[in-house]
Structure 1
Amino acid sequence: MNNIKGVLFDLDGTLADTAPDLVHALNLSLKDRGIAPKSIESLRYAASNGSLALVKAGVPELEEQQQIAIQQSLLIHYQQVNGEKASLFAGFENFLLFLEQQNIPYGIVTNKQARFTRPLLKALKIEAKLKTIISGDSTMHPKPHTAPMLLAAQQINCKPESILYVGDAQRDLIAAQNACMVGAIALWGYLSEDDNPNEWPSDFQFNNVNELHQAFLNKS
């Protein structure tokens, strides 16, 4: 931690709890088709894996073409409800303030498309504080490719090896490793019962944001 000069975060399931909006959008789409709503508790784990994965988790019994149609409807609804129920995970307001006070730049590298990323960050009231916002369509390739990671490193003016990347999915940690960044697993995120974070490439694992914050306090 002593060599960390910048911090980058995944968005869904790491920086922000966006599952309430995503599942709400799914349920609106299901309602359009006369399908019963799904509980957020049963689908929270799938919220990091993209809209189609969320649909497949919610209605695995449907044929793929039906799932794709529901996905397209979900995206339309999500554009309307994006940011309404989402919130930063507990502890982030204090941690981000600490990073600012320490002059440590921070930003986002997410696979979420920019048309959803920017409105969400604006709703969370942190858009202006971020030194970089890299979305899934900001480069030719999304995570786990290194392209978005290295673009973010360039924008916060830090060498990749001095950047801590925090994420809650295996692709996040693979991306960090491939980009030569320090990887940290957000165990508070949207991990499923099938996930085995101990097998993911990482330097740190944190149970909550306060543990992450404390790691920086210990180094200083």
Structure 2
Amino acid sequence: MNSIKAVLFDLDGTLADTAPDLIHALNLSLQERGIESKSVDELRYSASHGSLALVKAGVPHLDEASQFEIQQSLLAYYKLVNGEKAKLFQGFEAFLTLLDSHNIPFGIVTNKQAKFTRPLVCALGLTKRAKTVISGDSTQYPKPHTAPMLLAAQQIDCLPEQILYLGDAERDLVAAEKAGMIGGTALWGYLSESDTPSQWPSQLEFESVPALQQYFLNTVL
């Protein structure tokens, strides 16, 4: 594992806590329809799986047409509130600074559409620091397809086997494995009780960002 030369991150639930903004956008959509708002804690686990999954978790009793309508409204509101409350998970500023100090490039591979990714990355202060930012529509296929992973590897000029990819969803680790990268599970992310990360194809698991940093200090640097 000391062959790690670069790090790529999933965005929602791995690098940044974006659930508050996503759920705020959902609640604005629900309120205009007279539906009771949902708490962040109630739906946080769904925030990694896309806007439609978030809607389905929030209003499972509605029919698909209504859920789709709410999803479209959510996306419109999210464009307005994206980045307002989102923040890097605790410990990441120190870890990213550590990577910078050792000239280890890092980047982002997310399934979020670029029109949402770019303003969010800017709000997080990472536009100039991240060496690559690949969105869900940057290639023809999103994760778990290898296309976005391999494009990121190309842009940071690293072999896939030299890259640690961190994610908090099974598709992240499947994508990493298929691309030939070192997969790491971010256990601090948006995992639900039904998730079984021990069965995901990851080579590493990290309970926290400080644990990730300690691993680098002990093993990589």
Q: TM-score, normalised by structure 1?
A: 0.99
In structure 2, how many angstroms separate the alpha carbons of the residues matched to 1:145 and 1:161?
A: 17
Q: Look up the equivalent residue of 1:62 and give its one-letter code.
A: L
Q: Map 1:1-220 onto structure 2 (within 5 A).
A: 1-219=1-219, 220=221
Deviation of 1:173 after TM superposition, in Å, equals 0.1
State how far apart, in whole Å, the 2-side matches of 1:158 and 1:213 are.
21
Q: How far apart, CA to CA, are the structure 2 residues paired with 1:151 and 1:52?
A: 26
- One-letter amino acid matched to 1:64: E
Structure 1 ranges of 4+ moved more than 2 A: none
Q: CA deviation at 1:178?
A: 0.1
| Secondary structure in 2 matching 1:128 | coil
**Code of the aligned partner of 2:27:** N
Residue identity in the other structure for 1:6: A
Q: Write the distance in 2 (CA, Å) between the matches of 1:141 and 1:104.
A: 27
SS in 1 for 2:43: helix
The letter for the 2-side match of 1:175 is A
Write out per-residue CA displacement over residues 3-29 of structure 1, whole angstroms, 9 at most, x where no aligned residue: 000000000000000000000000000
1:63-95 C-alpha deviation (Å, 9 max, x unpaired): 000000000000000000000010000000000
Unaligned runs of 5+ in 2: none
Instruction: Give the aligned length.
Output: 220
1:153 & 1:121 partners in 2: Cα distance? 19
Provide the rounded CA distance (Å) in 1 between the counterparts of 2:42 and 2:20: 12
The root-mean-square deviation of aligned C-alpha atoms, in Å, is 0.4
Shift of 1:127: 1.2
Deviation, structure 1 residue 125? 0.8
Secondary structure of the structure 2 residue equivalent to 1:127: coil
TM-score, length of structure 2 as denominator length = 0.99
Cα shift at 1:185: 0.1
